[in-house]
Structure 1
Amino acid sequence: MGSSPTKNQKKSRAVVAQAGADRYAGATDDELRTAAAEAVVPREFDEDGAVIREGYVEDAAQLLGVVREVARRTLGLAPFDVQMQGTLRLLHGDVVEMATGEGKTLAGAMAAVGYALQNKRVHVITVNSYLAGRDDEWMGAMFDFFGLSHGAISEELDSASRRDIYARDIVFGAINELGFDVLRDHLITRRSDQVRTDADVAIVDEADSVMVDEALVPLVLAGSEPGRAPAGRITKIVKAMREQEHYVISEDHRNVFLTDRGAAFVERHLGIDSLYGESGDDHRIHGSTEFLNSDATLENAASDEEERDANLGEAAAGEQLRSADVLVQVNVALHAEHLLIRDVHYIVRDGKVALIDGSRGRVAELQRWPDGLQAAVEAKEGLQVTDGGRILDQMTIQALVGMYEQVCGMTGTALAAGDQLRQFYDLEVSVIEPNMPTKRYDETDHVYASAEDRDNAVVKHIMDIQHTGQPQLVGTQDVAESERIARELAKVNIECAVLNAKNHEAEAAVIVEAGRPGRVTVSTQMAGRGTDIKLGGTDEAERDDVVAAGGLHVVGVGRFRSQRLDNQLRGRSGRQGDPGSSVFFVSLDDDVVAVGGAGEELQAQPEPDGLLPQKKVINFVDHCQRVTEGQMLDIHATTWKYNKLIKDQRDIINDRRDSLLDTATAWDDLSYHNVDKANALKSAGLAQEVLEQAAREIMLFHLDYEWSEHLAYLDDIRESIHLRAIARESPIDEFHRMSIAAFGNLAERAVEKARETFDEVEITGDGVNLEGLGLHKPSATWTYMVNDNPLSSGGGSVIGSIVQMFR
């Protein structure tokens, strides 16, 4: 089912027609509960918890009719037929496309009821914790009617609260929160400490964002050990470098590379022999006091530059690093200096670097970059530099979604992500027509020769629309652009509300008023998901005036790299049959054109104001966007190939962990290894439970440590695996060969080290004293998401990475 976006619409409409709004209007509450129970066959288990009968919907029309009536009684909402169609397709395991304002939240909640009545635990996955809490509270009365327990996972909950919520029938949670709980459960040494209870079904809200946009990044759990942050000397040297002379930036602005001259520049100024020496070579960094004389490219530098560069010659006593570390630090410092832009990728707030989530335009709260990149950006901005840490475990969002037996989802822009959803999740898309025909008018893009011409045209266009009384939502690519447009509007006396990562806390207040007549709202991509702009304001008092003026007008400043993001912005207008309009202003300087059109030439003559009205120009912009989407799909496919092997290895480690946690395997091995010590411990009167737990902690410590070391090794080889292509070897094949070879004796090494520890460690009635042998567990852990792109080189995988601190 669901083999084409519209294939099942006729069948779905027929089923929904049998679940009309009046079918159960006269039924009592108890009759409704009975009818719901009769419409499904619940999953059954044997005494050991194994499934002996799978749950399924036996009478879809009856089930839909019941939940439709219950939604009306408990929530005061009367679901449209299209919402019931969406619910039906979710119960069939599709990703449904429903336009903005069509009621995806209610459709998802009704589907959750259908699955939960089959005796299946359901996770409703959202893009952030705010929406998880809001939707749980909003839909809770309907769940309560059926006796279904429910709750929402949020950042501030402690382990006990999380454990309680995960045991409920329906759990709402942000994708990263659910994933990080999986990772943290991989560190437990007692089964009773496990927080998460496995679920059977995932209903993914904003499925394209969660399963496509964020599937490129793994979730990472790190421990508190010093990371490889760039030394202060290296940061200064990088600032003294010159483009083309010492480094070059790739056309897509995703990577920066040292030139031979740049490598020599670093070597000379650090006083080391080679950046590319053996990984074990240690170097004590010495200063060179001959910068200006030894490098002709700096001889003609301005006096302030001379002074800055001369400062690099000061000795750096005590900075001793391996060649590999120096090279990594230089690459990280180059990325921070030249590829991460303030007010685009991050903002500085209260003396700290705050990351911006590019797909949503919001500040990524409690998040940071890994691999020394955060420290490099802090050094670049002259802020206090923070430490890094050791990776303890990681998993991709794609692997997380794969943990669920059944997956379905909903979004306003599923069709454009259909290829990815099919290829990576074996999911089909069902398009649900809007309840009322869309009246929005989407004007053809206006393309300009330069960004300056484009911005001038945007301001003029906003001024013209102001005379109509239409409210306007101006969508920009980043914080800097939103503020620039706002300044230009102020010059022509147009007041506007600015909504970006710097004032995200004002989002709700800004959005509820964005539909008032003549209102202009300038926003990054953050304005949208999970919210509706109501015409006439939150109370819709001036709705008629706005409708008469033409509804909400959306102005896009530049296209996004994905058509889906463009459609999300357009979708703010024309909800539920309202009038509306949209237009995008694009320039040949825009990122999507520069990247997608790299190496291609466009012959077109602009008009005096810079406008390029030719049809071939529009086609070229479309082509560039398709190229960038194709690049992202290639990255996703390649990332999946790399991470599938890591997932398979992780599954082996997790099986080993489960065995150690749930059995006496650890004690059996260690006591057999050292019978004398085992007998002595028993003779000392130590309880068997204490001995088994001590052995368990010893074994788990070394298994976890060896897995962490293995992940670090895999990260190192992925940083350089692209070089295999130079030797005409397949990078992926080589990665697989090297990673399999390294993994081969991981468990054996862990056992051998555990035996050595057992021989030496002190075990008392209070447990095992690993600290006494210097075997320290991380004093703190944090989690983060890494933009994982193995197609890049020289450390490109750290670009766009984010870290969520866990307290």
Structure 2
Amino acid sequence: MPKSMLKKIENISNKAEYNDYKKIVDEINHVKFDSLNKEKLLYKSIELKMKVSQGVCIDEIMIQAFALVKEAIRIALGFEAYDEQIIAGIAMHRGRLIEMQTGEGKTIAAVFPAYLNALSGLGCHILTFNDYLAARDAVWMGPIYEMLGLRVGFVQDNMKMQDKQKAYLCDVTYITAKVAGFDYLRDSICYEENECIQRPFNFVIVDEADSIIIDEAKIPLVIAAGGYQNDNTLSSTMDIIKGLKPKIHYDKDEYERNAFLTEIGLNLVEAQLCCDNLYSDENIKLLNEVHNTLYAEVILKKDIDYIVRDDKIEMVDEFTGRIAENRHWPDEIQEALEAKEKLEFKSKGRIMNQITLQSFIMLYKKVAGMTATAMDSAEEISEFYGLEVFVIPSHVPCNRIDYPDVIFTHKEAKYKALINEITSVHATGQPILIGNSSVLESDYMALKLKKLGIECQVLNAKNDELEAEIIEQAGVIGAVTVSTNMAGRGADIKLGGTKCESKDKVIALGGLYVIGTNRYESKRIDKQLRGRAGRQGDVGMFRFFISLEDDLIKKYGIDKIIPAYIRPKNQEEPIDDPRIARKINQVQRIIQGQNSDLRRALWKYSSLLERHRLQVYHRRLEILEDIDPLNVLENENQKLYEKLNTLFGEKCINKLEKQVALYNIDESFANYLAEVVIIQEGINLNIIGGKNPFRELQRETNLCFNTLQQDILENILMDFTNMELSESGLSSLRERIEPPTSTWTYLVKDNAIMDSLSSILTGSLGGGSVRIATFAGAPIVSIIRFIKKSSISIKNKFK
């Protein structure tokens, strides 16, 4: 079916659904609770809660529940919720992901479905983008819930476990997706039921939904324990890599996502490492070190991909340009960066468990979401989560003026025009927000402006904690704010400042002027920046200043697909040929499609791992909660079981067997995860061996999981058969199977499979961690060299 026809059907469907919701809103508005005082409102809410506890479906009480919330909002916050917010609430209750423009009141809209679904007593989570928003929204919305007899709480990353447990037991809990996921992983390795801080997941509303469930969905959340120090070879390997010359010793793929050694470079590195064959089995550690240090040195850029703060490498989020808290590259890449920046190596640990954000969100019984930008990813959202996107019309029509892009041949001309534009607009007093693509660029812009005597506030990864205060003042007369992109900032810029003192003056000047200095890989990110102007019907304006030398253009070779006869030579004036603008839009759509295909491929593979993880998790939970003990000793060695019962008592041995089972499940699963990494690293060897890579991954991972299950049983029996039958032997076993004394959590930017899947399954050359992904981007001479030098290894791999 043609896209135009699909769009037409979609619009008709959306309109019909909207009309249905509008009728429900009319019924809600006819319910009059304004004559009730606070005590009577609370009594009415308790009455609804009683009905739900007696088996009444929450859909049957939705109209009264929403009317109660509307009245509570009026009393607690002093304003009326408008129809569009109530419609958004109805849609979310029905499991929709709503698209609602910036400043239209998503935070208020979420209270309606949160209250209704929390009446069951099973809890509701509202997943926010950061800790600041979780605390802010819980405090702001708290009086509404409390007036209706519900408990509201929020969870922060640095909270004590007892405080987190209390917050999770609240009827409505505000929390970031990452912190909720990390707490789930901690619970998954608990040895005592009362140590678990979360209860079963019920209903979730995902704020900034596209950022969380699309942009960050593939990122694994990890819990690690133990650790060991790296040896000194990495530093010496990095010193060798730093001496290599581009184009001579190494090159990059066409998208500049991977780096690889040339024939000359490989010979030089082997000579300096005193290694005859870098690709032989005994040199696999060195091979990985070379690849990882080359990637860290050549591909990852300081103040663009990461910053160094307090002697630590801190990753910069590629979508928000802010510090990605608690996130690492895979260990080998992280350590290579530490070697590059000559920092002390941090202790790395053993991964005990992991889950992607995508899989974590799917654990909830019912999912809804809200964002300002969803339609561009509607198909993907539906495919991955079964969520349909529903667009909420603006309460007040948008008055923002969106100017066409201003395109220059080179960066120097762009920045010159940009500075001139800012200077002339600033002279009028109109507030300006400048969205940049990196920390480096935002610092550069701020320095340029300050040299001209234009004071500006900088909002980027280096001062993330001040962002709320900076945003609050971005709409005042004369304000100039330089920022990395605004995705997930979670705050609206009010004209005239927080109290709107000078709002009329700002309106007369044209409102907030938002300037983008780069196009992004995703149109959604562009729209998030654009949406900062023109909130709630305010006037505003938006414009992109871009050049054919910008990172997006160079990275994906857009300039190469622009025919020579329409591409002008370097000039100071903007390019006025509309064909070039169309080419840029075309390639942005292609990039979005490639990234979508990559996420689809990763989902296919991560689903396999998630099925294995869930099997282990549910079996472990049955043992932890004494629902279905494993009883390996009793079933497999009855004689030893009876002997141990006689010596130490049945209660003691049953408890000990439970602990031994939990310990061995955790140990075996950690071994499984480590083995899966090795399987992933071998994906390129499968390509060279002529095998279907995904089928091989699936086959080998299933074999690995079968081994895991057998290992658990055998290791439990071994622990008991090897135990000395005495009090000291009992104590010794108890000490050995104690849970980890310390754990830590982090996110992994990419996993080892990322690059290879991107090249195999999307037809593009992937980015991310390198490991053994050199072949995806290497010239044919390197692949031939590899095959010649490691033919014996390959033969063994594919027996």
TM more than 0.5: yes
Question: Which residues of 2 match residues 77-476 of structure 1 at below 5 A?
Answer: 77-226=79-228, 231-278=234-281, 281=282, 323-476=283-436
SS of residue paired to 1:341: coil
Using the TM superposition, give the Cα deviation of residue 640 of structure 1 relative to its aligned residue in structure 2, in angstroms.
Answer: 0.2
**CA displacement at 1:377 relative to structure 2:** 1.0
Q: Secondary structure at the match of 1:536?
A: coil
Partner of 2:494: 534
| Residue of structure 1 equivalent to 2:670 | 708
| Corresponding residue number in structure 2 for 1:11 | 20
Whole-Å separation in 2 of the counterparts to 1:215 and 1:54: 35
| TM value normalised by structure 1 | 0.87
Kept in 2, the 8 Å contact 1:216–1:639? The answer is yes
Aligned AA for 1:497? Q
Query: Contact 1:179 / 1:219 at 8 angstroms: preserved in 2?
Result: yes
Amino acid at match of 2:389: V
- Match 2:64 to one of 50, 62, 65: 62
Structure 2 residue identity aligned to 1:752:
E
Contact 2:374 2:389 in 1 (8 A): yes
Structure 1 residue 694 displacement after superposition: 1.5
- SS for the counterpart of 2:228 is coil
Q: Structure 2 CA distance, aligned partners of 1:590 and 1:41?
A: 60
Aligned partners of 1:102 and 1:576 also within 8 Å: yes
Aligned match for 1:798, one of 764, 769, 793 = 769
Contact map agreement 1:499 1:507 (CA 8 A) in 2 = yes
Structure 2 unaligned spans of 5+: 1-9, 758-765, 772-799
Distance 1:451 1:799 in 2: 30
Q: Give the whole-Å Cα distance in 2 for the aligned partners of 1:662 and 1:777.
A: 17
Distance 1:226 1:263, change over 3 A: farther
Residue 4 and residue 277 in structure 1: after superposition, are their counterparts in 2 closer, same or farther (change >3 A)? farther
Structure 1 CA distance, aligned partners of 2:376 and 2:452?
Answer: 38
Compute the displacement of 1:107 (Å).
0.7
Aligned residues of 1:227 and 1:389 also touching (Cα < 8 A): no
1:622-653 Cα offsets, whole Å, 9 max, x none, are: 11211221121011101101101001111111
Give the letter aligned to residue 36 of structure 2: A
| 1:660 equivalent in alignment to 2:623 | yes
1:546 to 506, 513, 517: 506
Q: Deviation of residue 574 (structure 1)?
A: 0.6
Do the aligned residues in 1 keep the contact of 2:206 with 2:370 (CA within 8 Å)?
A: yes
**Greater mean deviation of Cα atoms: 358-367 or 630-639:** 358-367
2:745 paired with 1:743 = no
Displacement after TM superposition at 1:771 (Å): 6.9
Render the CA deviation track for 1:415-457: whole Å, top value 9, x for unaligned.
2221221111111111111111110001001111122222112
Instruction: Measure, in 1, the Cα distance between the counterparts of 2:157 and 2:299.
Output: 30
Whether the 8 Å contact between 1:133 and 1:152 is mirrored in structure 2 is yes
Change (3 A) 1:547 1:763: farther
Residues in 2 aligned to 1:775 and 1:91: alpha-carbon distance in whole angstroms: 45
- Give the corresponding residue for 2:462: 502
> Within 2, Cα distance between the matches of 1:767 and 1:162?
37
- The alpha-carbon deviation at position 572 of structure 1 amounts to 0.9
Q: 1:421·1:428 contact (CA, 8 Å) conserved in 2?
A: yes
2:605 is aligned with 1:642:
yes
Q: Note if contact 1:207-1:410 (Cα within 8 Å) is conserved in structure 2.
A: yes
Partner SS, residue 304 of structure 2: coil
Match of 1:296 in 2: none
Aligned partners of 1:43 and 1:119 also within 8 Å: no
**Structure 2 CA distance for partners of 1:336 and 1:775, relative to 1, 3 Å:** farther
Structure (1 or 2) with the greater helix fraction = 2
Superposition deviation, residue 739 in structure 1: 0.8
SS of corresponding position for 2:248: coil
Identical aligned pairs, as a percentage? 34
Residue 536 of structure 1 and its aligned partner are, at CA, apart by 1.2
Once residues 116 and 76 of structure 2 are traced to their aligned partners in structure 1, the CA distance between those partners, rounded to angstroms, is: 16
Match of 1:601 among 557, 562, 574: 562
Residues in 2 aligned to 1:740 and 1:676: alpha-carbon distance in whole angstroms: 34
| Aligned equivalent of 2:790 | none
CA separation in 1, counterparts of 2:324 and 2:36?
A: 48
Matched with 2:477 is 517
Cα distance, 1:682 vs. partner? 2.9
Query: Where does structure 1 lack aligned partners over 5 or more consecutive residues?
Result: 46-52, 282-322, 801-807
Distance 2:286 2:767 in 1: 16
SS in 1 for 2:485: coil
How far is 1:673 from its partner?
A: 4.0
SS at match of 2:617: helix
Distance 1:256 1:698 in 2: 46
- Cα distance in 2 for residues equivalent to 1:695 and 1:61: 52
Q: Which amino acid aligns with 2:134?
A: A
Distance 2:165 2:352 in 1: 22
Structure 1: how far apart are the matches of 2:602 and 2:691?
18
Q: CA deviation at 1:589?
A: 1.9
How far is 1:242 from its partner? 2.3
Q: After alignment, is 355-364 or 620-629 more displaced?
A: 355-364
Q: What letter is aligned with 1:743?
A: F
For the residues of structure 2 that align with 1:594 and 1:768, how far apart are their CA atoms? 65
The AA in structure 1 aligned to 2:513 is H
Give the distance between the partners of 2:414 and 2:691, measured in 1 at CA. Answer: 45
The secondary structure found in structure 2 opposite 1:702 is helix
Distance 1:712 1:527, change over 3 A: closer
Structure 1 residue aligned with 2:681: 719
Correspondence 1:613 to 2:584:
no
Cα distance, 1:239–1:769 mapped onto 2, change above 3 Å: farther
Q: CA deviation at 1:766?
A: 9.8
Is the counterpart of residue 781 in structure 1 residue 737 in structure 2? no
Determine helix, strand or coil for the equivalent of 1:147.
Answer: coil
Q: What is the alpha-carbon distance in structure 2 between the residues aligned to residue 626 and residue 390 of structure 1? A: 40
Q: Counterparts of 2:728 and 2:525 in 1: how far apart (Å)?
A: 56
> Quick one: which amino acid aligns to residue 466 of structure 1?
H
Q: Give the superposition deviation at 1:528.
A: 6.2
Q: Does the 8 Å CA contact 1:554/1:582 hold for their aligned counterparts?
A: yes
Q: CA RMSD in A?
A: 2.7
3-state SS of paired residue (1:19): helix
Give 3-state SS (helix, strand or coil) of 1:498's partner. Answer: strand
Whole-angstrom distance in 1 between the partners of 2:238 and 2:330: 17
> For residue 240 of structure 1, what is the amino acid of its counterpart?
G
SS class of match (2:331):
coil
Q: Which TM-score applies when normalising by structure 2?
A: 0.88
CA distance in 2, matches of 1:729, 1:402: 32
1:298 equivalent in structure 2: none
Change (3 A) 1:681 1:3: farther
Change (3 A) 1:199 1:527: closer
Task: Report deviation, 1:747.
Answer: 1.1
Pick closer, same or farther for the CA change 1:544–1:708 going to 2, 3 Å: same
Whole-angstrom distance in 1 between the partners of 2:725 and 2:399: 74
Q: Secondary structure at the match of 2:367?
A: strand
Q: Which residue of 2 aligns with 1:20?
A: 29
